[in-house]
Amino acid sequence: MAKSKEILRGAEIFIRALKDEGVKHLFGYPGGAVLHIYDELYKQEDVEHILVRHEQGAVHAADGYARATGLPGVVLVTSGPGATNTITGIATAYMDSIPLVVFTGQVPTHLIGNDAFQEVDAIGITRPCVKHNFLVKDVRDLASTMKRAFYVATTGRPGPVVVDIPKDITADSCEYEYPDTVDMRSYRPVVRGHPGQIKRAASLILSAKKPMIYAGGGVILSNASEVLIAFTRLLGYPITNTLMGLGGYPATDKQFIGMLGMHGTYEANMAMHNCDVLIAIGARFDDRVTGDLEQFCPYAKIVQIDIDPSSIAKNVPVDIPIVGDVKHVLTDLTALIKASREKPDAESLKIWWDQIKEWQSINCLKFDRSTEVIKPQYVIEKLYELTKGEAYVTSDVGQHQMWAAQFYKFDKPRRWINSGGLGTMGFGLPAAMGVKLAFPNDIVACITGEASLVMCIQELSTCLQYGLPVKVINLNNRYMGMVRQWQEFFYAGRYSHSYMEAIPDFVKLAESFGHTGMRIEKTADVEAALKEALAMEDKLVLMDFITDQTENVYPMIASGKGQHEMHLAPERELA
């Protein structure tokens, strides 16, 4: 590539660098500190700017875009309140290791530290929730800093990176050159696993009598689904996915035994508890997965594969740690197992699968389909059937999120988009918007609750402006359902401030934003309504399902309990 050596202003450099980085979409909101940049945006058409209605929405949208495409999500906001409004979004991406580059405007360099108008220490405020951040102090550093920001965000364990750009930098000029490569002596992520460790892992894995594969979001981040499928099928072992890992292994495959953790399946949690070899792949032993650490996998030797050394043995001691990119390590491990003279122990495996089938026969996710009042699970089950499991599904946080994870069977990675680590209500709608932008021809559904939905409801305007017809599935139980459930179980039914009074009329609300609204109140109407909404391909439809207020998410491990101490729905509780 011929190197251009033009003299450009900072704002022009910003746009050129985005183009050279291959950025197609930028989610943003203007303000004083970034007006030079907005002026340059106006003059070009290569980078499409999506004007959100709140900066939190910009970050969630970029995040949804990144999760669905694997590309970094890019955000531009102004200084001060623009920057502070991004924090929840940045922390959400940080907890789930999502690659984002967030550009924040800053007051001019000579005013920094003066309590200038709309000044906030964006570097200081974002530091605990970013992978890294940069303050640009000289226009000559702008292009190379942007290059490094994208590099850091997307390599190793991905994560959000903030670049703070003072206004004067966007007015200053210098020669433009966008570097082809990055070399940072202090940042060199390991990709390949240690061959000796992989060898030890292979022989432990083949010696298992009750093996269990526990695969998380790392599989999706490293695009390792296909390798994971090959590895799992080769061994014939049972596999579970974490909330973040759903779709990393096909949910309809017979070796898949459901999600694990607090609201995972009985069989997945029991298999975890009883296994003798646990193979953890891109999963970080979150407390919602492990339950009581003292009782976690008491009989198992553990292999853990992770790109982040600090994720290894953080909560649970590990017998064979392997640091490296999941895709590379699994490829090497699969090859080694294939070549090995040893084979999985078929006899033990049969006994183990028989045990697992017995646990499965309890049918822990069963619910009543015969009621007139709508069961939330039923809506998701129907959505799954009607979209043939092919939709992109985003969610908010609460009961509806757990039901979506339990009842929408994801066969492909990057289709299930939710805030697992931070648990951010308000994530679903803007995230769906970002996904729809990336995949205009696919069905994008946002499964939400009436409390979560209103947290970023303003983005309905953005959806209208850019023609992003997502389907909003509002499971409206008139409660912060998940809070109500905990209050029912652990606070003797004292429903303190979890009842949603003064709920808007969602049909009118959708209409006032220029969209279509539907209210569905009976089980018998669910399927037809969904069909009707899905048929309106270019309409955003907000479907307000009035659901059973008393429904709880089961099965459940109460926090602080062991994985084998699951509660089933009361009528199904084992003697």
Ligand X SMILES: Cc1ncc(C[n+]2csc(CCOP(=O)(O)OP(=O)(O)O)c2C)c(N)n1
> Which residues sit at the interface with ligand X, rule CB under 6 A?
396-400, 423-426, 449-452, 475, 477, 479-483
Instruction: Name the helix (H) or strand (E) containing 518.
Output: strand 516-520
Characterize 109-148 residue by residue with b for buried, 16 or more Cβ atoms within 10 angstroms of its Cβ, and e for exposed.
Answer: beeeeeebebbbebbebbeebbbbbbbbeebbebbbbbbb
Using the minimum distance from each CB to ligand X, give the nearer residue, 85 or 452: 452
Closest approach, Cβ 327 to another protein, in A, equals 20
Using the minimum distance from each CB to ligand X, give the nearer residue, 438 or 475: 475
Do residues 430 and 60 lie in contact, with contact meaning Cβ atoms separated by under 8 Å? yes
Closest approach, Cβ 456 to ligand X, in A, equals 10
135 touches, from another protein, ligand X, none (C-beta below 5 to 8 Å by class): another protein
127 touches, from ligand X, another protein, none (C-beta below 5 to 8 Å by class): another protein
12 touches, from ligand X, another protein, none (C-beta below 5 to 8 Å by class): none
Q: Is 40 noted as a catalytic residue in this protein? A: no
Q: What is the C-alpha separation between 443 and 104, in angstroms, rounded? A: 32
Token pair of 506 as six digits: 């969602």
187 touches, from another protein, ligand X, none (C-beta below 5 to 8 Å by class): another protein
- The closest of 215, 353, 356, 214 to 277, measured between CA atoms, is 214
Closest approach, Cβ 395 to ligand X, in A, equals 9
Using the minimum distance from each CB to another protein, give the nearer residue, 19 or 188: 188
449 touches, from ligand X, another protein, none (C-beta below 5 to 8 Å by class): ligand X
Q: Is 27 noted as a catalytic residue in this protein? A: no
Distance of CA 184 to the CA centre of its chain: 28
Catalytic: which of 167, 327, 375, 471? Answer: 167
Q: What is the C-alpha separation between 329 and 322, in angstroms, rounded? A: 8
Place of tokens 């023609």: 467
SS3 181: coil
Closest approach, Cβ 165 to ligand X, in A, equals 29
Q: Is 167 noted as a catalytic residue in this protein? A: yes
Using the minimum distance from each CB to another protein, give the nearer residue, 25 or 131: 131
Catalytic: which of 55, 267, 381, 551? Answer: 55
CB atoms within 10 A of CB 560: 12
| Residues at the interface with another protein (CB under 8 A) | 123-124, 127-128, 131-133, 135, 152, 184-187, 308-310, 312-314, 317
452 touches, from ligand X, another protein, none (C-beta below 5 to 8 Å by class): ligand X
Number of helical (H) and strand (E) elements in the chain, helices listed first: 23, 20
- The closest of 417, 424, 394, 433 to 513, measured between CA atoms, is 433
308 touches, from ligand X, another protein, none (C-beta below 5 to 8 Å by class): another protein
Closest approach, Cβ 373 to ligand X, in A, equals 15
Closest approach, Cβ 333 to ligand X, in A, equals 37
Q: Is 117 noted as a catalytic residue in this protein? A: yes
Q: Is the peptide bond before 504 cis (omega within 30 degrees of 0)?
A: no
Alpha-carbon Rg for the chain in angstroms: 25
Closest approach, Cβ 304 to another protein, in A, equals 13
Quote the strand ranges of 256-345, DSSP E. Answer: 256-259, 277-281, 301-306, 320-323
Q: Is 342 noted as a catalytic residue in this protein? A: no
Catalytic: which of 6, 44, 117, 490? Answer: 117
Quote the strand ranges of 126-270, DSSP E. Answer: 132-135, 160-166, 173-175, 211-215, 239-241, 256-259
Do residues 537 and 519 lie in contact, with contact meaning Cβ atoms separated by under 8 Å? no
Point out the residues that are catalytic: 55, 117-118, 167, 482
